[in-house]
């Protein structure tokens, strides 16, 4: 039997730490969106020439 457990933690960050976390989240969002854009731009010509979707 598999038991799933979740934990929640509360962070008490000061102003400098909050700014750093916000900056890190912004960079992660930028990289993720860039990867999605690159995949989309590569997928369209691939599907047009082969007729197959990416897996």
Which tens digit of pLDDT belongs to each residue from 19-40?
999 999 999 999 999 999 998 8
pLDDT at 2 over 80: yes
**Residue 14 DSSP class:** -
Better pLDDT: 5 or 1: 5
Q: How many residues in the chain?
A: 55
pLDDT, position 51: 82
What's CA 25's distance to the chain center, in Å?
A: 10
pLDDT above 80 (res 54): no
Identify the residue whose tokens are 């599907």: 47
**% of the chain residues with pLDDT over 70:** 98
């Amino acid at each position: 039997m598999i038991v799933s457990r979740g934990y929640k933690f509360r962070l008490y960050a000061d102003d400098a730490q909050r700014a750093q976390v916000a900056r890190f989240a912004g960079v992660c969002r930028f990289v993720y969106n860039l990867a999605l854009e690159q995949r989309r731009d590569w997928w369209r010509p691939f599907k047009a020439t082969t007729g197959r979707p990416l897996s």
